[in-house]
Every structure is written in C-alpha cells, then in structure tokens.
Amino acid sequence: MRDFRKQFPFFDSSVSSIYFDNAATTQKPQCVIDAIGHANIQQSANVHRSSYQLAASVTDAYESARNDVAQLINAATAEQIFWSKGATESLNLLAHGLGELCRSEHPIWQGNEIIILTSEHHANILPWQQLVERLKPEKKLRITPLSPDYNGNYDYIKLRSAITDNTAIVAVAHVSNALGCVHPVADITKWAHQHQALCIVDGTQALAHIQVDVQALNCDAYVGSSHKMFGPTGVGFGYATHVLLDALPPYQVGGEMIEYVSFDEVRYQSYPLKFEAGTPNISGVIGMGAAARFVQQHHSMILQIEHHLHQHLLEQLAVLNTDLAVESNLITIVGAKNLERISLCSFVLTGISHYDVLRLLDRDNIALRVGHHCAMPLMQHLGIDGTIRVSLCAYNTIAEIDLFINALSTAIRY
C-alpha cells in the first residue's frame, strides 16, 4: 500500500489533505506527470500532419496511447478508440451521431425509445434528452427512466422486461458515480441486443477500480475520462463497434479529419480520425496513455487495497452509527447492498445538514463531496437533497479512514 502511495507526489506536497473525492478526480502518479512533461518539453510538435522526424515521433507516441487505452479495456483494435475532451464529449458525439442515423432512418437505429437508469450522471442523460428535442417533431422519440427502489436497489428483471422491440438505446453506467454499484452490463447488453437495441455504457467510474473488457461486455459503445483514472484533465475517449463507428457521421469538422476537400466535394477519413477534427490535446493523450499503462500494471493491487479500505470504512461507519444512534439509525448508506461495489460510499445523516458537516470536515483538511453528485433525478426519486460521498482510491489508507471517522463523529456532535 505504501509503495503504491509513494508514486503520487500529491501526498508529498505541503498540502496535508485527506483526499476522499476520487470519484470527482484522481491524483496523478509520477509516471503520468513525467509523460506529460516530456511531451510538452521534448515532443512539442503536431500530429498526423508533418513528416519530419520530430513530428513523426510525436505521432507515434500519440497513436501508442490509443493502443494503451485499447489494451486497458480489451478492445479488439486500437482503431475503435477515438479521443475526446472527456466522457461527456464522447457521449455527446455518440448521441449526436445516433440522432443523425435516426433522422436518416439508418438500419442501426431501431425503435423510438431510449431507456436510461435514473441514477445516471447528467452527462448520460442530457445528450439523449437533446437528441429527442432536436428531432422533434420529425421523430416521435421518448425517454423512459428506470428507477431503483427507495434504498437505491435496482430490479434488473424489471429492466429486462422494459426493453422491447420499441427500444432503440439503453444508456447505462458501468458503475454509478452516486451509489458505487456495478451494474451487470453484459446482461443488459444481451437483453438490449435481443431487441436490436444498442447499449451505450458510461465507464467513467469503472476504469480505475475494476477490470474492463468491452469484448466480454459486448456493448456497442463505452466511454471514459482520463482524470478519473490517474490521468490529466481535458482528455477522454470513446470506444464503439466497427459497425457503429463506420455508420456514425463526424461530430465536428476541420483539419486532418478529411481525405479531400474542395468547394464542391468533401471526403472524410475513416474512423477514428474522422471524429478528431483540429489539433488535439497531444500531451493529454500521451498522459492518458501513461495512465492506462499504470492502471494495467497495478490492477490487482488496486482491487485488493480498495476492497480492504472499503470494508474498513463500512465497518467503522456501522460502529459510529451504533455509538451515535439512540432510537434509530443516524447514518444511512444509500445504494444496493446486493451488488458488487467499488470503494465508494454515499450516506445521509438524519436531521443534520450535510453542508454543515462538510464545512467542519474541511477544517480538518478532509476532502470529500456533498450534494447530488450530478445525479439530480436519482436524488429526487429517493426524496433526498443529496448525500455525503466518500470515494476511496488505492493510495488512501486505513489511518486516513480512522481520522475521518473521528472527525465525522466530532462534526455530528458539534
């Protein structure tokens, strides 16, 4: 555990912080920082344009990162990976392109319904809402939200029954950023495909915490963000099947995504380059490649450490709840108890302002998130205004959890 933590300079800095906001963004290991620095200092040239030696070497590093991400998620080919600013842009690209396929009545699009889990991040809700609005009144599409029970548990039999021949898309997170539960994506994809529907997966919270295999999941598309998996901000990726990538139109147009341009004709390059108009975030992509290699190298250690940390956190919250509660539970953990979970715990405090608790914890330099976590529909469904979210990573420690529990106890009693 200590050897893993030592790779992150953040914890050697003058900031004495207990960082429990890893679902928002992760810290960066030295290897990622070095890769970004090397790209900016010694590889400062453009990609896919010039043929001189420096530019060619940068293009090689840029494309090598694509291969690193493909290996991380076990994509069949690196060409199935396209770069973006992050998962949000990747989802917008997919939704925009699928909307155009719907408009043109492409055979990939079947049905008039988009099923979305209520617990989805806004980034996997709003692009689909925009698609529906953009195609009105030409196409009569609808969004069908599928909600959990009031403890945050999903009925997947109900989801399976909800998918019909009218379903065009099922949009689902691999891991809920608000609840921490791991959805059975392989099953959901199977049910979708039985009705010729597409399964679009937001993998943002999965990549740094569980093994991802898009071929085993058999999903049609999968997206992620670099900064949620130890990489830099402002860069992410999308993955899709060859059939879908070939059918999707470009999202933006400009330099280097074309084969030929005149005022009478334009021919676009094939994927993935047709989705990558303009000069990309080169150092960010190279940094993400380093992050992908780092995750692959340490996957087993990450899983083992985070399981241990998560169990300790749950045990200590239960002990604190017993110590504090007189007649009823003061601390209520939100989310499915019967599913695999990552090292994330969302809970509510009965009769106590979460924001007041946050301010008191912040005095002790404990960084975590309070609020709706970009999952307002879920919070509305659960009848709460938000949760306290502790999102752990393998560089956190048992000692930090114990300090947090003591600080939380003090804040509650304040």
Residue 21 scores a pLDDT above 90: yes
| C-alpha to C-alpha distance for 38 and 59, rounded to whole angstroms | 14
Q: Indicate whether 269 and 376 sit together in one domain.
A: no
Sheet (strand 221-225) strand order = 81-84, 236-240, 221-225, 198-202, 167-173, 113-117, 142-146
Burial of 259 (0-12, 13-18, 19+ CB in 10 A): exposed
What confidence tier does 13 reach under pLDDT thresholds 50, 70, 90? confident
Q: Indicate whether 353 and 242 sit together in one domain.
A: no
Which of 229-238, 258-267, 318-327 has the least mean pLDDT? 318-327
Mean pLDDT value across residues 281-287: 98
Residue 325 scores a pLDDT above 80: no
Quick one: pLDDT at residue 414? 80
Q: Which helix (H) or strand (E) holds 347?
A: strand 344-349
User: Is residue 374 flagged as an active site residue?
Assistant: yes
**Where residue 254 sits, what CATH number does that domain have?**
3.40.640.10
Mean pLDDT value across residues 130-134: 98
Q: Indicate whether 340 and 222 sit together in one domain.
A: no
Q: Could you give the 3-state DSSP secondary structure of residue 343?
A: coil
- Give the tens place of pLDDT for each residue, 375-384: 999 999 999 9
Share of the chain above pLDDT 90, in %: 91
User: Which of 275, 291, 307 is a domain's end point?
Assistant: 291
* Nearest by Cα to 393 from 205, 178, 209: 209
With beta carbons less than 8 A apart as the criterion, state whether 228 and 249 touch. no
Alpha carbon separation from 75 to 264, 287, 331 (Å, rounded): 37, 19, 41
For the chain, the average pLDDT equals 95
Q: Indicate whether 85 and 226 sit together in one domain.
A: yes
Q: Indicate whether 307 and 281 sit together in one domain.
A: no
Torsion-angle region of residue 90: left (phi > 0), alpha (psi -120 to 50) or beta?
A: alpha
Quick one: pLDDT at residue 256? 87
Mean pLDDT value across residues 246-256: 96
Quick one: pLDDT at residue 328? 65
Asked if the peptide bond before residue 137 counts as cis, ω within 30 degrees of 0, the response is yes
Our count of domains for the chain comes to: 2
Which residue is associated with the tokens 């004709």?
Answer: 265
- Kindly name the residue from 31, 102, 374, 393 that is annotated as catalytic: 374
Per this entry, what is the length of the chain?
Answer: 414
Q: Indicate whether 114 and 15 sit together in one domain.
A: no
| C-alpha to C-alpha distance for 94 and 87, rounded to whole angstroms | 10
Q: Indicate whether 35 and 21 sit together in one domain.
A: no
Q: Which helix (H) or strand (E) holds 114?
A: strand 113-117
**Domain span at residue 189?**
31-291
Q: Indicate whether 163 and 15 sit together in one domain.
A: no
Number of Cβ atoms within 10 Å of the Cβ of 326 = 5
Mean pLDDT value across residues 27-33: 98
Percentages helix, strand, coil for the chain (3-state, rounded to 5) are 45, 15, 40
**Token pair of 61 as six digits:** 């590093």
Q: Indicate whether 70 and 150 sit together in one domain.
A: yes
User: Which of 291, 315, 344 is a domain's end point?
Assistant: 291
Quick one: pLDDT at residue 338? 64
| C-alpha to C-alpha distance for 80 and 83, rounded to whole angstroms | 10
Backbone angles phi, psi at 331, to 5 degrees: -105, 120
Mean pLDDT value across residues 205-224: 98
Q: Indicate whether 262 and 232 sit together in one domain.
A: yes
User: Which of 247, 274, 291 is a domain's end point?
Assistant: 291
**Where residue 393 sits, what CATH number does that domain have?**
3.90.1150.10
| Residue 239 identity | Y
Quick one: pLDDT at residue 183? 95
Q: Indicate whether 100 and 244 sit together in one domain.
A: yes
Q: What is the pTM for the complete model shown?
A: 0.96
